[in-house]
Amino acid sequence: MAQYLISVLTDAPVEGNAEEAAAIDVFNAQLQADGQWVFAGGLAWPDSATVVDGRGAEPVFTDGPYAESKEHVIGFWIVEAPHLDVALRLAGQGSKACNRRVEVRPFLSE
Amino acid sequence: MTDVDAELARVHRAEWARVVATLARRLGDLDVAEEMAADAFATAVERWPIDGVPPNPGAWLTTTAHRRAIDRLRRESKREDRHREALMLVDTPEPPGAIDDDRLRLVFTCCHPALAMEARIALTLRMVGGLTVPEIARAFLVQETAMGQRITRAKAKIKAARIPYGVPFHEDVPARVAGVLTVLYLIFNEGYLASTSDGDPVRDDLTAEAIRLTRLVHVLLPADGEVAGLLALMLLTQARRAARVSADGDLVPLGDQDRAAWDRGLIAEGHALVRARLASGQMPGRYQVLAAINAVHTDGPHTDWSQVVALYDQLTRIDPSPIVRLNRAIAVAELDGPQVAMAEIDGLPLETYHTYHATRADFLRRLGRGAEARAAYDRAIALTTNIGEKTYLTHRRDEATGP
């Protein structure tokens, strides 16, 4: 079994609506029932982010997201899947549920 | 070429994919499978001229490659579980009714939709086709190192993302087969109408390879109508190869080709495939309709354009894209004249497609609108990258006289 990060992408500052939230709940319940659920969550807007660099003597804090980009991550799932075809299928269902594009990325194994 | 050399070449063509595919399943690693298969063939090149060709060359190669792989894994395994860690490729359980052929798994893995299209093409030619990296690089006029990296990156993604080594989920099969056919058709088309301006207008190595690979997929999926359709389409296109380029390197349009130069054997084979699909009574997909169109073109001394238009009507229902409508208009021009056809292509959103302008130019020339025709030819010449097409269009432009 491998784990995959399914990131939810958006380029518009539009919050999820009730219909999307309901579809996400159904999808989450399905993941849990099928034993594929690891974790999931929604994120606040990127302008709430703080960049921290703790490599020096004192940590340095910077307001704002690390990279200004047109598209950003507003939520994610971590799922358990035997291989990419299963992860892609889950990603397709997740994308439909939250009504946004998603990106699938494997965790490093070993 | 000695008998042994000829036999080596034949066995390489016939057995490469099977050796790689079998090893990939046993070892669970595409990279090692490829390397060991290449190693086994290199051993054959050394041994067979001395020892003679073994009675079952395919089995000899698989066994040789397998032993090498085991030796290597043992050598490399520092820890006990290292061996098991080599099982990177995920062997998916066989869905009931699926054809259990390792080569089919290999094809689906190489043509996986999570890989970039150019990676799928390169990987398929390397892993299934057995072409060397320098051969593939030359075919696509890419630097050898760049092509090597492209293949290495694709293999790394297969490993890291755990792209499965297996046949797709039952409900994904039609889409995944369509994806495989796209790869094969792109290889064929790159050979048939090379997009590079500094090479030959036709790359026979690529068309031959595409046909060989499609034959293999047809053997593996004999009931799939679209696979049969694509194979027929390629055969009927390739049948006209000898008549397609003139002595001065011009591409010769269908109507001007010397039909006596067409390959009767390929035409008969293509027609038989098309007939078998028609007899199946199943709804044809796009490749089957395209094959049927090419069957009409290669049937008898003249093309029956009313049949071609009817088939394009059918294709438009499957795929109403502007390119299909453009091709339909070319047939309409033959049936109802360029005036009618011109009305069909006006306003198609194909401003950057050279064939659109070449088609318009041809219609305008036939309508005696010389100045507009020349302008359209110029636009087409500027947009095409194929050297044979450029020459042909330039000649045609110079023939379009008058206001």
The residue ranges of every structural domain in chain A are 2-42+68-106
In a domain, B248, yes or no: yes
- pLDDT higher than 50, residue B85: no
Lowest-pLDDT range of A64-78, B77-91, B178-192:
B77-91
- pLDDT higher than 70, residue B115: yes
B217 and B107 assigned to the same domain: yes
Q: Are B231 and B273 in contact (CB under 8 A)?
A: yes
> What does the block give as tokens for A2?
């491998």
Fold of A2-42+68-106: Alpha-Beta Plaits (3.30.70)
Which among B85, B160, B164 has CB closest to A85?
B164
Which among A83, A104, A108 has CB closest to B90?
A83
Which among B92, B112, B162 has CB closest to A2?
B162
In a domain, B284, yes or no: yes
**Among B168, B193, B221, where does a domain finish?**
B221
B136 and B217 assigned to the same domain: yes
Domain extent for B264: 223-303
- pLDDT higher than 60, residue B92: no
Q: Tell me what pLDDT residue B238 has.
A: 95
Q: Which residues from A are below 8 Å from B160, CB to CB? A: 106, 108
Q: Is residue A106 very low, low, confident or very high in pLDDT (cuts 50, 70, 90)?
A: very high
Radius of gyration (Cα) for chain B, nearest Å? Answer: 24
- pLDDT higher than 90, residue B86: no
Percentage of chain B exceeding pLDDT 70: 92
- pLDDT higher than 90, residue B44: yes
Mean pLDDT of chain B: 88
- pLDDT higher than 80, residue B200: no
B178 and B242 assigned to the same domain: no
In a domain, B401, yes or no: no
- pLDDT higher than 80, residue B77: no
B229 and B217 assigned to the same domain: no
Q: Any idea of the CA torsion for A21, A22, A23, A29, to the nearest 10 degrees?
A: 110
In a domain, B313, yes or no: no
- pLDDT higher than 60, residue A11: yes
Q: What is the DSSP string of B9-68?
A: HHHHHHHHHHHHHHHHHHHS-HHHHHHHHHHHHHHHHHHHHHH---SSHHHHHHHHHHHH
- pLDDT higher than 80, residue B159: yes
Q: pLDDT tens digits for B176-186?
A: 999 999 999 99
CA distance B85 to A98: 36
Alpha-carbon distance values, B77 to B17, B38, B45 (Å): 27, 22, 29
Q: Measured between CB atoms, does A42 come within 8 Å of chain B?
A: no
In a domain, B238, yes or no: yes
Q: Which of residues 84-123 of B touch A (CB under 8 A)?
A: 85, 90, 92, 112, 114
B17 and B74 assigned to the same domain: yes
In a domain, B36, yes or no: yes
Q: What crossing angle do the helices spanning B204-220 and B225-238 adopt, rounded to 10°?
A: 150
Q: Average pLDDT for residues B347-352, to the nearest whole number?
A: 92
Q: Which of residues 64-93 of A touch B (CB under 8 A)?
A: 82-85, 87-89
- pLDDT higher than 50, residue B262: yes
Q: How many domains does chain B have?
A: 3
Nearest CA-CA distance, residue A90 and chain B, Å = 13
Q: pLDDT tens digits for A74-104?
A: 999 999 999 999 999 999 999 999 999 999 9
Phi, then psi, of A68 in degrees rounded to 5: -75, 120
Identity of the amino acid at B43: T
Percentage of chain B exceeding pLDDT 90: 67
Of residues B376 and B99, which shows the higher confidence score?
A: B376
Q: Tell me what pLDDT residue B196 has.
A: 59
Q: Measured between CB atoms, does B171 come within 8 Å of chain A?
A: no
Of residues B190 and B341, which shows the higher confidence score?
A: B341
Alpha helices in B77-165, H assignment, sequence order: 80-85, 102-110, 117-123, 133-139, 144-160
CA atoms within 13 A on the CB side of B82: 10
In a domain, B270, yes or no: yes
- pLDDT higher than 60, residue B95: no
- pLDDT higher than 80, residue B198: no
**Residue B22, domain CATH:** 1.10.1740
Nearest CA-CA distance, residue A21 and chain B, Å = 28
Q: Tell me what pLDDT residue B98 has.
A: 42
Q: Tell me what pLDDT residue B199 has.
A: 60
Of residues B90 and B68, which shows the higher confidence score?
A: B68
